[in-house]
């Protein structure tokens, strides 16, 4: 009986450190792998950087379009811009000109 009592005593004294180690392992795992863990934070930062790069590109494209629209306004009319738009809209070119069609990133020809 003394051996069984010794085993019970040692098991009880080792129970709380084992429970503590298991809790530490559980929370450490979720700190790294969980929904709001370190890896999720890194993925979110990557997505934010990609979105900011896309936003910067779209902002530059918008500025370019705003500049082109400003050149077509009646109070600030640029003759070269009017000629360019007329050629595009009417599909017109001089006989001595060479036309090179380019595909823009959106897939349509400009």
Residue 81 and residue 56 share a domain: yes
Residue-wise pLDDT tens digits, 39-97? 999 999 999 999 999 999 999 999 999 988 888 787 878 788 788 888 888 877 878 88
Residue-wise pLDDT tens digits, 2-38? 888 888 888 888 999 999 999 999 999 999 998 889 9
Dihedral angle of Cα 35, 36, 38, 44, to the nearest 10 degrees: 90
In a domain, 79, yes or no: yes
In a domain, 80, yes or no: yes
Residue 63 and residue 85 share a domain: yes
For residue 15, what are the domain limits?
1-33
pTM: 0.52
Residue 70 and residue 22 share a domain: no
Closest listed residue to residue 83, CA positions, set 75, 95, 74, 92: 92
Give CA–CA dist 35/29, Å, rounded.
11
Radius of gyration of the chain (CA): 35
- Residue-by-residue DSSP string for 76-90: G--HHHHHHHHHHHH
In a domain, 105, yes or no: no
């Amino acid at each position: 009986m003394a051996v069984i009592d010794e085993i019970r005593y040692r098991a009880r004294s080792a129970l709380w450190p084992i429970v503590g180690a298991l809790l530490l392992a559980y929370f450490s795992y979720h700190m790294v792998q969980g929904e709001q863990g370190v890896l999720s934070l890194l993925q979110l930062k990557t997505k934010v950087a990609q979105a900011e790069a896309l936003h910067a590109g779209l902002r530059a494209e918008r500025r370019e379009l705003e500049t082109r629209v400003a050149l077509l306004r009646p109070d600030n009319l640029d003759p070269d811009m009017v000629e360019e738009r007329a050629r595009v809209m009417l599909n017109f070119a001089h006989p001595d000109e060479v036309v090179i069609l380019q595909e823009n990133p959106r897939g349509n020809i400009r």
